[in-house]
Structure 1
Amino acid sequence: MVATARSSSSVRAAVRLTLMAGWLGFCVIPHLLMRPFGPSPWPRRLLRGIGWIAGARVETTGPKPTARTLIVSNHVSWLDIPMLAGATDCAFVAKDGLKGHPIMRWLCEQNGTVFVDRDRKASVGDQLSDMERALRSPKPLTLFPEGTVSDGHGLLPFRSSLLKLAEDPPVPLTVQPVAIDYRGAAPEFGWPQGETGQANFVRLLGRKGTVSVTLHFLAPLAPGQDRKALTRQSHAAVAAALAPSGVAPARV
């Protein structure tokens, strides 16, 4: 099903935001009670619920990633995060700008987020070490190698720096491409140039109806390759999966 353009309502956005806040309040207490005794299922439940309240209706194809899997995915919208986490219980590699928002930082930390500064090449070694520690947990780890969300019209080039971890992994590691497919509706959910982050968030919350999204879990890549080969193969696999929905691939 291809979604058509829908107007955004501030009232609808406020209702959804209120529901999200209520769902967060419901999830926090059992999470804090369970956390001292081992991994808590509540971050995954929280994020899955956030995606559902926002209108995402998720289907999946292919083998779902397991522990010690590095997911390499395209990135269209903030909605990608609750959808992927809800489907796989994955943690994420995220820009360290989120660390400046106390509530967002705490929520990210509860789900095992690895914060990176992509503009500081000198810190890549520390970032790879943080990713290695995250991959030793029971969760898969998701990397968005485009480095940013797109406007939904095309697939951006993938950056290879953080895939260096997979060249000679310290633990057995699987690299699995994943394509987030909005089935032709990606331009409605992307982040167009000139739109602020807050405006994008409110616009998507105010969107009428739901959207059907398919998470294509693609074939894992052969291990032992260099990071540039893994980057090219990941990009090609994601581009091929998105082509039927009209997403144009970038040259790499």
Structure 2
Amino acid sequence: MTQDGAIPATRAVTPLGWLLIGFRLVLMVLVFMLCAPLHLLWRAFGFGRFWPRVFLASIGAIAGLHITVRGQPARHALLLSNHVSWLDIPTLAHVTGSAFVAHDGLADFVFLKWLCEMNDTIFIARHDRQSVAEQVEQVRAAMATGGALTIFPEGTTSDGTGLLPFKSALLSAATPLPPGIVAQPVSLDYENSRQVCWVGDEPGLDNFLRLLARPRPIRVTAHFLAPLAGEELADRKAMAATAHAKLLRHLSQ
């Protein structure tokens, strides 16, 4: 990061950084070539998301991600997490095996869409009111199958030092929760989050390459807070307000 707080541009990557980028990209391609066919074979026999979880965890490890877990992740949960970086995805996939809810802009990139669909990502068309009912059914079906499903209620990324307002509309499909599913806030705390975050006008590819160029590990602590209970689950607005307050209180400590 520069002295004025701006995110450094990709062109500032050192020669060593470019070597790290090349090395890590080769490893990522090799992991993909291993996991993709095994995933297709796995799915042909009706099994779950084992190989996408392996793939995402490997991507995080190759990128230098070091994960510490605090608290107890619920086994069957709707995870409500703050959103700092694309590394949030491999972090939560590694720890919980979670699927994700993402905005439909990602679906414009064919390869990225295919990678997301490997892990049962649900795409939300935020500006298409006519498809809301269908999206609600997709989210509820994903929760009903068990496991974990992650929503980033901020709707975008922040710099990790605070918390943007939660968009309660993103939780409309989760009210009421299916039987056996809990809503659990998750705080992702990055060491030097301002150097990791993806905010402002930085292109996504630049951010991706910039993080791959880092020689130092990227340390993140995933804090799993107590699940919401009682009146905290009354409706989507109560869920959003309570989860936001709990995460904000944790981040301010």
TM-score (normalizing by structure 2): 0.87
**Can you list the C-alpha shifts for 1:81-100, whole angstroms capped at 9, x where unaligned?**
01100110000001111212
Aligned-pair RMSD on alpha carbons? 1.9
* Match runs of 1:193-232 below 5 Å: 193-223=200-230, 224-232=233-241
Aligned partner letter, 1:49: S
Contact conserved, 2:49 with 2:119, CA < 8 A, in 1?
no
Contact conserved, 1:151 with 1:193, CA < 8 A, in 2?
no
Aligned length: 238
* Match runs of 1:1-252 below 5 Å: 8=13, 9-37=17-45, 38-67=47-76, 69-183=77-191, 185-223=192-230, 224-244=233-253
- SS of alignment partner, residue 154 of structure 1: coil
Question: Residues of 1 paired with 2:89 and 2:174: CA distance?
Answer: 22
Give the share of equivalent positions with the same residue, in percent: 43
Question: Residues of 2 paired with 1:242 and 1:133: CA distance?
Answer: 32
Contact conserved, 1:152 with 1:191, CA < 8 A, in 2?
no
**Can you list the C-alpha shifts for 1:94-122, whole angstroms capped at 9, x where unaligned?**
11112122221111111111000223344
Aligned partner letter, 1:195: E
TM-score (normalizing by structure 1): 0.88
1:172 shift after superposition = 4.0
1:57 shift after superposition = 0.4
Aligned partner letter, 1:64: P
- SS of alignment partner, residue 83 of structure 2: coil
| Structure 2, unaligned runs of 5 or more | 1-6
**Can you list the C-alpha shifts for 1:42-71, whole angstroms capped at 9, x where unaligned?**
11011001001111100111111212x110
Question: Residues of 1 paired with 2:90 and 2:80: CA distance?
Answer: 16
1:237 shift after superposition = 1.3
Question: Residues of 1 paired with 2:180 and 2:37: CA distance?
Answer: 35
1:151 shift after superposition = 2.9
Aligned to 2:3: none
Aligned partner letter, 1:22: L
Contact conserved, 1:24 with 1:46, CA < 8 A, in 2?
yes
Question: Residues of 1 paired with 2:178 and 2:41: CA distance?
Answer: 33
Question: Residues of 2 paired with 1:239 and 1:105: CA distance?
Answer: 31
Question: Residues of 1 paired with 2:33 and 2:18: CA distance?
Answer: 22
Question: Residues of 2 paired with 1:219 and 1:162: CA distance?
Answer: 21
Question: Residues of 1 paired with 2:183 and 2:212: CA distance?
Answer: 32
Contact conserved, 1:128 with 1:162, CA < 8 A, in 2?
no
Aligned to 1:248: none
Aligned to 1:249: none
